[in-house]
Amino acid sequence: MKHIVLATVYVAVGSATVYAQSAKPCESLRSVSLPGTTITAAEMVAAGPIQLPAQPGRGGAAANPPVAPAHCRVAAVLAPSSDSHIEVEFWFPAADWNGKFEAVGNGGFAGVISFPAMAAALREGYATASTDTGHKGGSAVFAMGHPEKYVDFAWRSIHEMTVKAKALVNEYYGRPARLSYWNGCSTGGRQGLKEAQRFPEDFDAIVAGAPANYETHLHAWTVEVGMAAIKGNENILPSTKMPIVNKAVLAACDSLDKVKDGLLNDPRKCSFDPGTLLCKGSDTTNCLTADQVAAVKRIYAPAKFNDGTLIFPSFEPGSEMAWASVVSNAAPPQIGIDTFMYLTYADPQWDWHNFDLDRDTRAADKRDDGVIDAIDPDLSKFKAHGGKLLMYHGWNDTAIAPENSINYYSSVLAKMGSKQDDWYRLFMAPGMQHCGGGPGPNQFNAMAALERWRESGTAPEMLVASHITGANVDMTRPLCPYPQVAVYKGTGSTNDAANFSCKMP
C-alpha cells in the first residue's frame, strides 16, 4: 500500500508544540495494512462524553463516562500468534496534537481496555492507546490451556500495541511521534517495567506506579495473607477490629517523624506489638483475642521460603484501615486463587485450603519462568536509550506491599551502581493506598513531572501531592525521592507542603 506523507503544519503555543492537522482522513486508516492486524473501525468521534461498552464480568456501562475531545478512533484486533485475539483502541486528537504518544496500562488480570485513562491522555493532547491484553473479563481462566494467551497478557500485547500505535500515528499525522510515554499503575506498573526490561526502545519515559512486577510471589503472598485470619472455614478478624489496631499503631508511632498527623513517614521504623491489644477477659470491640493477635502478627510478617529467603514483603503498620478487603473474608482474594488455579496448575479444582507457601511459590516460579514477572534489574539498555523511569508506591497499599518497589529499586542500584537518580527515581507516599486513596496525600501529577524530566532535563526533586475531601484540598505534602523523606521545617501548618523539605532520614 502506498503511504503518502504530507508536511505537518504546527503552531507553537508557549513551550509546547501543537500540531494543527492530520495528514489524511481518519476513515482512511481502515485500509492501512499492518502485520498481524485487522482494523475493525476508523471513525471520527465528536467531543463529549465517551459512551463506553459494558465489560464482561464488570457490570454495565460507566455511570459517569469520561469526557474526551474530538478524535480519530481506530479499533483493531492483533494476532501475533494463531491463538491470539488482542483488542486494541487507538485514539488520535483531531486537533492540537502535542506530537507525542502515551500508552496506558491495565489493572489486575486486565481483560478490559482502559478507556478512562485513554480519555485523560487525550485531554492532554496525546495520541493514546490501550489493550485488553488478549482476553475478556478479570479472571485468569483465559490462560488455562492457552499458552499463547498467557504470553499475550504477560508482555506481547503491550509491545505489539505499541509498535502498531506508532505506525498508525505516523500514518495519520504524516510524521512519527516525537516522544513515547508509558503510564500505568499496578499491572500497568508491571507492564511498564517489562517494557523497559524487554523492549527498552519502545518508550522514552515510563511512569510505573505500585508495580505488580513480581506477580508470582505477589499472589503467593496474597493467598498467604488472606489465609492469616481464616480458621477452619471462618474468618476470625472482622473489619470492626481494624480501627483499634490502627489507633494503637498511630499511638505508638505517629510521632516518630515529629508530626502527629495520622501518617507514618516510614512505617518500617514502627515497632508495634499487637500483643498489647490482647483481651484481658472476654472478647470486646476494644481488644483482640489470642487468635486475632496471632493473625495480626502473621499479617505484619513477610512471606518467606522454608530456608528463610524472602518471597514477598508484608503489610505496613498504619495500613490497617485498608486490610478488610484482603483479610476479613472467608477465602483469600480471588486474584491469588486464580494465579494458582489457572496459571500455575491449570486445575479448576485446585483448593486453596491446601496451599503451601514454599511448595506452591516454587511451582509458580517454575511455571512462569520469567514470562510475567518483571524483576530483571538490568535496565542499562533503557538508560542508554535516554529513558526516564519514575516509580511511586503508597505506604498504605494492601494490594501490593510497598516494600516490593523498594526491593526492585534497590536491586537495580545493586546491579547498575548506586548513582542512578539522573534517570530513575522512586517516590514513596505516606498514607496512600493502592494507586491512590487513603488518609495521606494521594493525588499528584506523575506524568507532568516525567515530561519535564525527559523533555527539559528538570529532575523531580519532589512531587507535591494533595489530599482532597469532597471538593476541598485539606492537605498538601511533598513526596520525596527515595530514600529521602518529607521533614517538617518546624513552623507553619503541617497541612501545607511549603512547610516541609525533602531530606535524608
Pick the catalytic residue: 71, 135, 219, 434? 434
Q: Which of 157, 338, 397, 467 is catalytic?
A: 397
Q: What pLDDT is attached to residue 66?
A: 85
Residue 227 is predicted with a pLDDT of 97
Three-state SS at 250: helix
Are 122 and 351 within 8 A, CB to CB? no
Sign of CA dihedral 35, 123, 457, 377: negative
Q: What is the pLDDT of residue 19?
A: 56
Identify whether the C-beta of residue 142 lies closer than 8 Å to the C-beta of residue 149.
Answer: yes
Looking at residue 439, its amino acid is P
Q: Which of 267, 362, 372 is nearest to 311 (CA)?
A: 362
Cα separation, 389 vs 302, whole angstroms: 27
Assess whether 397 carries a catalytic annotation: yes
pLDDT for 52: 74
CA separation (Å) from 34 to 86, 108, 209, 247, 375? 14, 29, 32, 58, 32
- 411-451 per-position pLDDT tens digit: 999 999 999 999 999 999 999 999 999 999 999 999 999 99
Q: Do 397 and 240 contact (CB within 8 A), yes or no?
A: no
Q: What is residue 448's DSSP assignment?
A: H
Kindly provide the b/e burial profile for residues 411-437, where b requires at least 16 CB atoms within 10 angstroms of the residue's own CB.
Answer: ebeeebeeebeebbbbbbbbbbbbbeb
The catalytically annotated residue of 22, 139, 157, 186 is 186
Instruction: Quote the CA–CA distance of 81 and 403 in Å, as a whole number.
Output: 36
Who wins on pLDDT, 341 or 53? Answer: 341
* CATH no. for 10-214+387-460: 3.40.50.1820
- When the pLDDT of each residue in the chain is averaged and rounded to a whole number, the result is 94
For 75-113, how does the pLDDT look when each residue is reduced to its tens digit (9 = 90+)? 999 999 999 999 999 999 999 999 999 999 999 999 999
User: What number of residues does the chain have?
Assistant: 505
Q: Give 313's pLDDT tier (boundaries 50, 70, 90).
A: very high
- Residue 64 has a pLDDT of 74
467 is catalytic: no
* pLDDT given for residue 398 in this prediction: 98
pLDDT of residue 233: 87
pLDDT grade, residue 53 (50/70/90)? Answer: low
- pTM given for the model: 0.94
Residue extents of the structural domains in the chain: 10-214+387-460, 217-368
Q: Judge if the upstream peptide bond of residue 332 is cis by omega within 30 degrees of 0.
A: no
Q: Is 72 exposed, middle or buried (0-12, 13-18, 19+ CB in 10 A)?
A: buried
Asked if 397 contacts 371 with a C-beta cutoff of 8 angstroms, the reply is no
The grid coordinates listed for 95 are 486537533
* pLDDT per residue as tens digits for the range 374-420: 999 999 999 999 999 999 999 999 999 999 999 999 999 999 999 99
Tens-digit pLDDT profile for residues 185-209 = 999 999 999 999 999 999 999 999 9
* 373 among known catalytic residues: no
Query: Is residue 394 within 8 Å of residue 361, measured between CB atoms?
Result: no
Helix, strand, coil share (%) of the chain residues, nearest 5? 35, 20, 45
Name the nearest CA neighbour of 29 among 62, 73, 81, 77.
73
